[in-house]
């Protein structure tokens, strides 16, 4: 779903020297917002092109992993071997009038090719240069490679995820990479706004570990305030009850009562007037103190109801409730359909829309992920350069 108006970042030129997920995800968001994003790949291509199955078969006969298409929509693609002087000159020429560079090379790698911020900004002082690494540009871990799974463990996320008596669990998504991509997009836009005021670009230092620690939010505050390490809670909430998954006669539902009134309505719609009237349960602190006793009664009352019955009762009484959808159910959901979250691209593939709706700007959707080097000859030709040998 898009509205009228020019895309918000129309006229912004982004050179993406990034691969895998965090950097390309940031590049894809900027492309959706209307920026011209040129993805520079090595002759071997982005590693995620080979992260299959499942595979996407192209019209030109090439095959790529669906993973690659999850974070490269809307870009144009060129090929460059940094060890080739002509290719290196081509990349430097691309960056000479660029607004943004996104890179996620290991610390010091691009400096060997004169593609570091200090070198590039000397010729392009307005350049916003976003460096994405596992651990940032400083600190004892800065030279280390960073991988999403490792970062999820190091950041504390996995210690908070999983059943209380089970093993720590990773998210079902590469949340550390994606969070870093989102934070990077925010930082890039802020730096462009600062440039409008100062005329100067700057380097942005983004770390997967920093971004993941930054997501700890209320759990970190709980630790800071109490000095106690929060335990894994499974599907329960550490600070709010009842706020978890419950088993019903034909499956599971999430019931999420966030205030006292919602709890009282929940208890009464289940016929549990004794809970609603219990003086110990009139506020959240009391419900936390008596979580197990209260949940035993709630669970028993819900176990004899179907999901449809429970949803009908909750929705009629303004008690937050929701299903646990599979992906086929997500993209058939009336609200998801109404909001246009699934988009069709120029190559016939579907993709997930960036979840942004402006009142007076549109998203630049529709362009498929580039084939390896798809726009290389076109872009070099426009710059007066011969096609790559």
| pLDDT in the model for residue 1 | 55
DSSP 3-state percent helix, strand, coil across the chain (nearest 5): 40, 15, 45
| pLDDT in the model for residue 347 | 87
| pLDDT in the model for residue 2 | 56
**From 32, 148, 177, 376, the catalytic residue:** 177
Q: What is the DSSP letter of 369?
A: P
| pLDDT in the model for residue 389 | 80
Residues 212 and 152 sit within 8 Å (Cβ to Cβ): yes
The tokens of 361 are what?
């700007």
Indicate if 177 belongs to the active site.
yes
Rg of the chain on CA atoms, in Å: 25
Q: How far lies 52's CA from each of 47, 59, 66, 108, 350, in Å?
A: 10, 18, 7, 30, 17
The tokens of 69 are what?
């298409």
Q: What is the DSSP letter of 116?
A: S
Residues 107 and 116 sit within 8 Å (Cβ to Cβ): no
| pLDDT in the model for residue 262 | 97
| pLDDT in the model for residue 336 | 97
Dmax over CA atoms of the chain, in Å, equals 81
Selection from 184, 153, 187 nearest residue 170 by Cα: 153
| pLDDT in the model for residue 3 | 66
Q: Is the four-CA dihedral 204, 208, 214, 215 of positive or negative sign?
A: positive
- Taking only the tens of pLDDT, the chain with its 389 residues reads 556 799 999 999 999 999 999 999 999 999 999 999 999 999 999 999 999 999 999 888 889 999 999 999 999 999 999 999 999 999 999 999 999 999 999 999 999 999 999 999 999 999 999 999 999 999 999 999 999 999 999 999 999 999 999 999 999 999 999 999 999 999 999 999 999 999 999 999 999 999 999 999 999 999 999 999 999 999 999 999 999 999 999 999 999 999 999 999 999 999 999 999 999 999 999 999 999 999 999 999 999 999 999 999 999 999 999 999 999 999 999 999 999 999 999 888 999 999 999 999 999 999 999 999 999 999 999 999 999 98
């Amino acid at each position: 779903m898009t509205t009228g108006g020019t895309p918000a970042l129309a006229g912004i030129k982004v050179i993406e020297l990034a691969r895998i997920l965090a950097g390309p995800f940031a590049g894809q968001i900027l492309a959706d917002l209307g920026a011209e994003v040129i993805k520079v790949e090595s002759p071997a291509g982005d590693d995620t092109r080979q992260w299959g199955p499942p595979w996407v078969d192209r019209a030109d006969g090439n095959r790529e992993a669906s993973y690659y298409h999850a974070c490269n929509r809307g870009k144009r693609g060129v090929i460059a071997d940094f060890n080739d002087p002509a290719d290196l000159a081509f990349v430097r020429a691309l960056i000479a009038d660029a607004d943004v560079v996104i890179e996620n090379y290991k610390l010091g790698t691009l400096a060997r090719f004169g593609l570091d911020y200090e070198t590039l900004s000397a010729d392009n002082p307005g350049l916003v240069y976003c460096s994405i690494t596992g651990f940032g540009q400083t600190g004892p871990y800065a030279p280390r490679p960073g991988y999403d799974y490792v970062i999820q463990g190091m950041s504390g996320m996995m210690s908070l995820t999983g059943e209380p008596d089970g093993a720590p669990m990773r998210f079902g998504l590469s949340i550390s990479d994606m969070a870093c991509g989102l934070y990077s997009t925010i930082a890039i836009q802020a730096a462009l706004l600062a440039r409008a005021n100062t005329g100067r670009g700057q380097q942005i230092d983004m770390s997967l570990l920093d971004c993941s620690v930054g997501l700890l939010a209320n759990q970190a505050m709980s630790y800071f305030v109490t000095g106690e390490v929060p335990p894994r809670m499974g599907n329960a909430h550490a600070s709010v009850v009842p706020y978890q998954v419950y088993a019903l006669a034909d499956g599971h539902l999430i019931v999420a009562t966030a205030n006292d009134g919602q709890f009282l309505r929940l208890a009464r719609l289940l016929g549990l007037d004794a809970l609603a009237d219990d003086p110990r349960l009139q506020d959240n602190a009391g419900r936390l103190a008596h979580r197990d006793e209260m949940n035993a009664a709630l669970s028993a009352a819900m176990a004899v109801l179907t999901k449809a019955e429970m949803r009908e009762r909750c929705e009629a009484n303004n008690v937050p409730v929701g299903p646990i959808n599979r992906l086929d159910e997500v993209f058939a959901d009336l609200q998801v359909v109404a909001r246009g979250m699934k988009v069709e691209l120029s190559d016939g593939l579907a993709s997930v829309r960036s979840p942004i709706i402006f009142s007076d700007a549109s998203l630049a959707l529709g362009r498929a992920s580039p084939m390896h080097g798809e726009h290389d000859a076109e872009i070099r030709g426009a710059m007066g350069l011969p096609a790559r040998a």
